[in-house]
Structure 1
Amino acid sequence: MLKNDSTWLARLFPFLGWWPMTRETLRADLIAGVTVALVLVPQSMAYAQLAGLPVVYGLYAAFLPVMVASLWGSLRQLHTGPTAMLSLLSAAALLPFASVGSEQFIELSVMLALMVGVLRLLLGLFRLGLVVNLLSHPVVVGFTNAAALIIGLSQLNKLINVPMPRSDSFLSDLWAVVTQLEQTHWPTVGFAFAAFLIIYGLQRFFPRAPAILVAIMVTTVASAWFGFERTASVSLASIEDASFRARLGDYTRLNEAVRNQERRLAQLQAERSRATQAARVARADLDAELDKQKVRLTALREQAFEARRHLHAVRLSRVETPTGPVFRSAGTVVEGEPAGAAYWRFAAIKGDTVSLSSGGEVVGTIPKGLPSFTLPHIAWQILLPLLPAALIMALLGFMEATSISKAISARTGQRVDTNQELIGQGLANIVGSFFQSYVVSGSFSRSALAARAGAQTGLFAIISALCVMLVILFLTPLLYHLPQAVLAVIIMFAVFGLVRIEPLLQAWRVNRVDAVIGLVTFVATLALAPALAQGILLGVGLTVAAYVVRNMRPRAEILGRRADGTLAGMDSHHLPPVSDQYVALRFDGSLDFVNVAYFEEAVLEALRRFPQAKAVLVVGSGINDMDASGEAQLRAVARQLKARGVDLYFSSLKKQVRAAFERGGLDEVIPKEHLFANKEAALAALAARYGHLASVTPPATIPSSPRPAGSS
């Protein structure tokens, strides 16, 4: 009883397994926690921007969710928090429903975290971790390679400080950035290059040094010292360039239109929710109104998306200043040629005040204070459209965490409970969503760093989260001048290492169909970006289809006899048949609804090639199961053969298949004396009844049938 209670407590509170702790364990976890925190803080800020959120939301995601996942997870060295892959997936999933960085976008990001958390928790509670097997290795590799390229290239505009549109085509957005190369802001490129040299150099020559933290400290100080950010605020009326003033007016109108449309979308969603509830009482009276609202909702979304496309053209507006001032405000002249660029770029407009920028982009003001408890806002009408993306994110995040866990446990010897890990990851996202966190998952880089630093228990992750808490409370003002280009470099370092070609080449050597599916997944993910979920769903669909096709035509071959008396494929090895009075047929597939028709085809083809045969022996060592469809078809085949005067025999059937034969009452058409324990006993009985080996060698004169894929 005590043992059962102990097991129950261990499953309910996995962190109890950390005890007893020693001074050495605490010291190791403290060092590992601080070490990981030095990477966690800058990574979480960078990944938040990748998710289309202000950097502070990355810090929120690196606080409580880290603790919860550590307390209720399985692997003690696994570190949970923001990751590049899920950050990009989150932004891509929400882009059709709200403007990036808007209040509605932030609310939907938190709601998506709740959805992913609930899905993972349910998978873990019902012990359905095996569902991740739907994601085959080539599909995951193809998707990961494409996503890594998309993540890395999405940061290109930040490296050269030009705007990047957000549309329904990532490739067209990327091309829009490429066309602006002549407008490159070279000081921004300089900061990015300096960050790259610092990180690469320290990782190469001083691997124990916190390379990312050093890069952030150096570039932030340099940014503040040299005045990397240069901004100005002027009134709209003070702008002397009439065409530019007109473009700003267009921007204001379009921006306000987008905001009004998004507010109207929220109102329609609330109306539809109330109408749906009322429909339970008077559904017939509200169906027509609901249909009308659906049409209006779709139209508004399309208008809002089209308006956002036009906004990008306005953001590209700039005014050359080779001959003098272009703006005058309260007697102050705002002149050109700042920080090496001969123009001011429009940044934002609020009322009649225009914000301009001529320097580099920095992180800016980060709100201080811990995230407060807030109920996630649930947009009920978006739940269903977001569900496929949430499921993909739940599975991919779990697969990422599982692969990390297995790699680390192979070195530590710790047992990994994948279902418990699902529970921990699910609770982390659910709790995080109540404290303004977006989607989190296990991080490969930070987990590997923790293992190298000697982490012994999940306490190290809690220590890293406490370090983030200190940053949120006291250190955010110091990060104001951090260049955005440095965060872009951090993201690129994290994701470009995920690009792997060798697994696809290996898949090509092993099974070319799988390799092609991986390649199609890669191309589709790139082409369909930012709708990344569609790319991997296509890969999953192709994988399932290929699996079904392979199982529809399993390996089936007539057996012949070698000179030493052993059996092998007659056509594959150019052997004489066992006899011209009976046929030995090997069938390596379950008798189920997928392939039982092919079983009948294989038996009839064997009889076509040996028309004098009085019996067919099916060597069934490769038959693992039989369902109702298989039983019905097998019964029909046995009756069909009996009508032709041919007996059907089986040998080497597995226990579960023999049991299915008995439950189905197949002894009515296939007597028990036609079932043999092994093929040797079956061949001896058939030889005694029908005759011995054939006197001729017919394979060269017998028409050959197409061999199924995989036969040898």
Structure 2
Amino acid sequence: MLVPTFDQLAELRDKETLKVDILAGITVALILVPQSMAYAQLAGLPAYYGLYASFLPPMIAAIFGSSRQLATGPVAVVSLMTAASLEPLAASGSEGFLMYATLLAILIGLFQVSLGVLRLGVLVDFLSHPVVLGFTSAGAIIIGTSQISKLFGVTAERADHHYETVYNVIQAALTDTHWPTVFIALLSIGIMVGIRRWKPTWPAVLIAVVFTTLISKATDFAKRNGAIVGEIPEGLPGIAIPQLSFDIFLDLITAAIIISLIGFMEAISIAKAMAAKTRQHLDANQELFGQGLSNIASGLFSGYPVSGSFSRSAVNINAGARTGFSSIVTAAVVGITLLFLTPLLYHLPQATLATIIIIAVVGLVKIEPIKHAWKVEKHDGIVAVITFVLTLYMAPHLDKGILAGVFLSMALFIYRTMRPRFAMVSRHPDGTFRDLSVFPELETCKNIIIIRFYMSLYYANAGYFETKVLQVFAEHRDAKYIIIDAEGINMVDSTGEMVLTQLRERLEAAGVIVLIARMKRQFMQSMRKAGAITTTEDERFFSRLTFALEYAWDQMECDQCDNSKGCPLRISVARKQYDAREGTPALPTPVDKIRTLVTEE
């Protein structure tokens, strides 16, 4: 549905639902107003641009998205990436920088809307979990350290690399620290940390903003060379369509694609978690559409790129929000703030906004998940660590760090699939077929070889598959049949089909028949479309491994494999050989029950 929120209108007739949605919307707005101003400055924009980006986008995303509780607006990572993308093009806060920011939001929105309409949300999957882990942890450190100058009230020369800029800031802080600013920063941190610990239901951010703003005004903090927010234009933002040239498009398109994918991944992650909790339907493509429209609205009304927020969405659902109406209430409160309350924010210290950012991103630095990824798959751990290191080193060019992580994760995946597990199997006494490298004591048949390939057969591993099969053929000169257990082959591309067809022809010319068992539907479709399977050859393909064995036994004349039941690939023979061994423990399953089981592993 184009506007999923229409389905929720009937629920608002319930007074209790309406009440909790209004309260949840107000609660989120109390956090969003100061937080959005802080994130706007992180993006290199005036603080009020955060309010502009918090007015229409939450409402648009709620109306056109599929998540009921997702809180859309300025977020830390997207704000940082916005600054990193635009700083090479214009000076922070300049007129050109502001224009680029609105254009970037529009381009991001157009890209997301296009993906949603074309139902291409799966492109987000190219950003693997290890890449996101490494990038977000590094991004959180970059975000936090970028605020050090505001904590100490100093300015420093901006260098080509972020770590050099941080060093310059620390050098300046050693000699030129503004102690009233440090006091405000420490007070803000103390208020937010203390309230979250002892009164977690209170709006800690809002209380810190109100308290430090009152202190700033009472002590003439600005006249003591303290940095404050200053004048904020009153009124709602008007529509403005920025001019877009082809050169500007080329400058922004790469950043727009990367930020749109990163931003949407953050949004869809929290949306999925909430949908699982509330058991509500979530459509990723519809969510892309909604997020895209919210970014377009943000850019057209003097905002900058937005996304779904982890922290504010958690506040929204914990406050009891049931429908998207809560986000509409949030947008209304921001609109009221822009119309009537901006003079109250004049004396808000910049140090307070810096502490809001730092407190918000501390939880994004996650080392344990990286360690866990390393334990599960070492290559994933390597990707996470390298992405983390490269993002830190290349900052402020964050796009290079994440692109390097994406290409590395794809390269390692291809590398892993180039040499998948290849096994020869034989009958186990319990009736299943087991890998001979794991169970070397199993008896084998000299005439029938059974092999398994545990990966889709495609261009990167087709040559490896061919080499391994020919190696088996060379080592078993008495083999008359090679049975390929294709249960682990999910698909076959044109290279895989060609190799498999040529391999069958070469082996059959040498007197060895190739049989294929337990094929998946996709496997058979590829073979039929390629003309590799004809009506006369269909007898070489079997739905069960036991059917392929029966075919081989019927076709051969062999003392071991004929009807004398002497083949070790038969259940009865494998069991008899097992029982004949001295000191072997009894099998837990009786033979008469084994015969009724599926005999393939």
The 3 A distance-change label for structure 1 pair 482 and 589 is: same
How does 1:130-149 map onto structure 2 within 5 Å? 130-149=122-141
Q: Secondary structure at the match of 2:222?
A: coil
Moved more, 117-126 or 686-695: 686-695
Q: Please say if 1:638 is aligned against 2:504.
A: yes
CA distance in 1, matches of 2:403, 2:214: 45
Q: Secondary structure at the match of 1:666?
A: coil
Moved more, 96-105 or 645-654: 645-654
The 3 A distance-change label for structure 1 pair 660 and 666 is: same
How does 1:472-487 map onto structure 2 within 5 Å? 472-487=338-353
The 3 A distance-change label for structure 1 pair 485 and 670 is: farther
CA distance in 1, matches of 2:32, 2:432: 63
Which amino acid is 1:523 matched to? V
Match of 1:561 in 2: 427
Among 221, 230, 233, the residue aligned to 1:228? 221
Q: Secondary structure at the match of 1:571?
A: coil
CA distance in 2, matches of 1:402, 1:362: 35
Match of 1:209 in 2: 202
Q: RMSD of aligned C-alpha atoms? A: 1.9
CA contact (8 A) 2:192 2:208 kept: yes
**TM-score, normalised with respect to structure 1:** 0.76
Match of 1:95 in 2: 87
CA distance in 1, matches of 2:465, 2:535: 17
1:464, CA displacement in angstroms?
A: 1.4
CA distance in 2, matches of 1:670, 1:27: 71
Which amino acid is 1:78 matched to? L
1:668, CA displacement in angstroms?
A: 6.4
Q: Please say if 1:73 is aligned against 2:65.
A: yes
Q: Secondary structure at the match of 1:568?
A: strand
CA contact (8 A) 1:116 1:393 kept: yes
CA distance in 1, matches of 2:444, 2:344: 84
How does 1:382-393 map onto structure 2 within 5 Å? 382-393=248-259
What is the percentage of aligned positions where both structures have the same residue? 44
Q: Please say if 1:552 is aligned against 2:418.
A: yes
Q: Deviations over 1:71-120 (max 9, x none)?
A: 11111111111111100000000111111111000000000000100011
The 3 A distance-change label for structure 1 pair 565 and 429 is: closer
Quick one: higher RCO (CA 8 Å, sep 6+), 1 or 2? 1
1:379, CA displacement in angstroms?
A: 3.9
Match of 1:685 in 2: 551
CA contact (8 A) 2:234 2:342 kept: yes
Moved more, 609-618 or 420-429: 609-618
Q: Please say if 1:459 is aligned against 2:328.
A: no
1:466, CA displacement in angstroms?
A: 1.5
CA contact (8 A) 1:69 1:424 kept: yes
Moved more, 59-68 or 544-553: 544-553
1:670, CA displacement in angstroms?
A: 8.7
1:683, CA displacement in angstroms?
A: 2.3
Moved more, 162-171 or 367-376: 162-171
Match of 1:505 in 2: 371
1:667, CA displacement in angstroms?
A: 4.1
CA distance in 1, matches of 2:198, 2:136: 29
CA distance in 2, matches of 1:573, 1:609: 19
CA distance in 1, matches of 2:200, 2:539: 72
CA contact (8 A) 1:638 1:669 kept: no
CA contact (8 A) 1:108 1:377 kept: no
Match of 1:241 in 2: none
Q: Secondary structure at the match of 1:487?
A: helix
How does 1:19-38 map onto structure 2 within 5 Å? 19-20=9-10, 21=12, 22-38=14-30
1:665, CA displacement in angstroms?
A: 2.8
**TM-score, normalised with respect to structure 2:** 0.90
Q: Please say if 1:14 is aligned against 2:4.
A: yes
The 3 A distance-change label for structure 1 pair 372 and 570 is: same
CA distance in 2, matches of 1:37, 1:547: 43
The 3 A distance-change label for structure 1 pair 641 and 181 is: same
CA distance in 1, matches of 2:77, 2:366: 15
The 3 A distance-change label for structure 1 pair 530 and 635 is: same
Which amino acid is 1:135 matched to? L
The 3 A distance-change label for structure 1 pair 577 and 591 is: farther
Among 324, 327, 335, the residue aligned to 1:469? 335
1:655, CA displacement in angstroms?
A: 2.6
1:650, CA displacement in angstroms?
A: 0.8
CA distance in 2, matches of 1:631, 1:491: 55
Q: Please say if 1:363 is aligned against 2:356.
A: no
Q: Secondary structure at the match of 2:221?
A: coil
CA contact (8 A) 1:562 1:575 kept: no
The 3 A distance-change label for structure 1 pair 566 and 407 is: closer
CA contact (8 A) 2:28 2:315 kept: yes
CA contact (8 A) 1:374 1:436 kept: yes
Match of 1:176 in 2: 168
The 3 A distance-change label for structure 1 pair 170 and 669 is: farther
Match of 2:436 in 1: 570
CA distance in 1, matches of 2:82, 2:522: 46
Which amino acid is 2:215 matched to? A
Q: Deviations over 1:51-79 (max 9, x none)?
A: 00001111100101121111111111111
Give the unaligned 5+ runs of structure 2: 562-566, 575-600
Q: Please say if 1:436 is aligned against 2:312.
A: no
1:483, CA displacement in angstroms?
A: 0.9
The 3 A distance-change label for structure 1 pair 165 and 670 is: farther
1:180, CA displacement in angstroms?
A: 1.8
